[in-house]
Amino acid sequence: MHILALDTSTEYCSVALWRDGTVVEREVHAGQRHSQLLLGMIDEVLREGGATLDRLDGIAYGEGPGTFTGLRIACGVTQGLAFASNLPVAGVSTLLALAVGAGADRVVCCLDARMHQVYYGAYEKTSAGWTVAHAAALHDPSAVPELAGSGWVGCGSGFAAYGEVLAQRYGDRLVQVRPEAFPRARHIAALAQPALVGGTAVPADAAAPCYIRDKVALKTDERPA
């Protein structure tokens, strides 16, 4: 099975070609250059992997949460490529992809959502796969949900932006913190594989971002606070 996966939900741009578990990937700290870099990176992984769009079994993308512009870029490029080659698509939670990449069984994910908030989700790995301890949501760092038990690994840019507040919130429930971690396309591809194999992927026109937040900026009188 050949899956093209991409993620532009954070300041990183990540692309991967997943071939039955073997991965060709490109990743770069893109800042705000995702739209300039993404198509070139896709072309590179396809060439290196000896694949073409018409040989793919589907396209997976990071559906969010994440930056508004980044989510639209990933979704729009996915739709365009999938329409052109009549491919199914699968959206994958960026927070779950972040958890999978942590290499731990208990992962709490926080992405910096700006405006003094985080995109938050907590996940646990069992013998049956990943389960959701706390579903993806938007929270103030000081009001993130409590975690049951210990041995949690914290991942994501939210720990870089609000590390002290989150550390006070969770104390010794966190055994490790990885603020540099970001969602990677290789994990998005792996998570999308069951949907593409099982026929639960969707047509290109059904692809959509998962924003969570519907407010994009602070009002003038809110900014000083």
Read off the CATH number of the domain in which 90 is found.
3.30.420.40
Could you tell me how many helices (H) and strands (E) the chain has, helices first?
A: 6, 10
Q: Are residues 14 and 87 in the same domain?
A: yes
Q: Are residues 109 and 187 in the same domain?
A: no
End-to-end CA distance of the chain: 51
Q: Are residues 10 and 77 in the same domain?
A: yes
Q: Are residues 130 and 61 in the same domain?
A: no
Residues 107-162: tens digit of each pLDDT: 999 999 999 999 999 999 999 999 999 999 999 999 999 999 999 999 999 999 99
User: Tokens in use for 145?
Assistant: 């949900």
Check pLDDT > 60 for residue 218: no
Q: Are residues 12 and 88 in the same domain?
A: yes
Confidence of residue 213 (pLDDT cuts 50, 70, 90): confident
Contacts of 77 (CB under 8 A, 6+ apart): 6, 38, 39, 42, 61
> Quick check: is 152 in a domain?
yes
> Quick check: is 221 in a domain?
no
CA distance to 125, 146, 166, 180, 185, per residue, from 173 (Å): 16, 10, 11, 19, 29
CA distance 87 to 94: 21
Structural domain span for residue 121: 102-178
> Quick check: is 224 in a domain?
no
pLDDT at 21: 85
CA distance 70 to 112: 14
Check pLDDT > 80 for residue 224: no
Confidence of residue 222 (pLDDT cuts 50, 70, 90): very low
CA distance 113 to 57: 33
Domain count, the chain: 2
> Quick check: is 64 in a domain?
yes
Give the chain's length.
225
Q: Are residues 88 and 64 in the same domain?
A: yes
Q: Are residues 191 and 82 in the same domain?
A: yes
